[in-house]
Homo-oligomer: A and B are copies of this chain.
Amino acid sequence: MNVTAFTVLDIPLIKPGDDLAGIIHENADLEERDIIAISSTIVSKSENRIISLNNIDVTGKAQNIAKNNGSDPRFVQAALNESTEILLESPFLLVRIKNGSICVNAGIDRSNVEGKDNILLLPEKPDRSAREIKDRFFELTGYKVSVVIIDTNGRAFRCGQTGAAVGIAGIKPTVDWRGTHDLFGNVLEVKNEAVVDEIAGFANVLMGEGNGGTPVAIIRGLDLYSEKGSMKDINRPGHEDVIREAILKSRSV
């Protein structure tokens, strides 16, 4: 298997209403079945998901959490507004957001946002965003591509953050190897590979961070195209999520 990957240079600062697929198309020669990884930051900007902390009505609940974890109550409230469940309040705010993912601070970004007190929310419906970009690529090029919108997340047990998929289109979140056979003919029982997160991680390496960062990377040569695919399928059902259960139980001690 031979794969090439590259970042797309010269992506301008993205403004609300910008046609991301069009901008990427102008700056890269796409091919059929390319995987296009896009930083959630620019998707959110194109969807005008910037809000000012000064426009947030802070509840008592957010005040309490902010006091516990030492953060800005307005920022906590913004995260709560995007969330359906609180897993941890301190030392950091870990929540389930509306699309079912679990992440710190509801994935809200304070970096790479212009304007004091401005913050950037994740795309409202990241799978929908990915699908719209995918459809627009098809319109522009006739090519069927996969789109993976990525963000960076921390993880349990290990330091550092890795890229993670937040919205996808034209690719399934996992490849199920269960039922296939190993080298010696034994049936594989537990292999369900989360390819979109693995691709998001690699795209994150390619993109870099900070002011040298480039928000779009293309990965070519992997055969992972699928018409269907949603991040909904990757969230562990609550009752099967052993780590979530342990966290909730620990809070009742």
Cβ contact within 8 Å between A209 and B236: no
Each complex incorporates copies of this chain amounting to 2
Inter-chain pairs besides A4-B4, A111-B191, 7 sampled, C-beta below 8 Å: A1-B214, A3-B4, A113-B184, A152-B191, A161-B192, A162-B197, A250-B250
A182 at the interface (CB under 8 A from B): yes
**The 5 residue pairs across chains A and B that have the minimum distance between CB atoms:** A160-B194, A198-B201, A202-B202, A156-B243, A180-B210
Q: How many residues of A contact B (CB 8 A)?
A: 79
Give the complex CA separation of A110 and B71 in angstroms: 46
Q: Is A186 an interface residue (CB 8 A)?
A: yes
Of chain B, the residue at the smallest CB distance from A187 is B111
A194 lies within 8 A of B161 (CB): yes
Is there a chain B Cβ closer than 8 Å to A211's Cβ?
yes
The reply on A56 being an interface residue by CB < 8 A is no
Asked if A7 CB lies within 8 Å of chain B CBs, one says yes
Query: Closest CB-CB distance, A118 to chain B, in whole Å?
Result: 10
Within the assembled complex, what's the spacing in Å between the Cα atoms of A107 and B164? 23
The answer to whether B194 and A159 touch across the interface, beta carbons within 8 angstroms, is: yes
> Are A193 and B205 in contact, CB atoms less than 8 angstroms apart?
yes
The answer for the CA separation of A185 and B211 in the assembled complex, in Å, is 8
CB distance from A74 to the nearest CB of B (A): 17
Within the complex, the shortest CB–CB distance from A20 to chain B, in Å, comes to 16
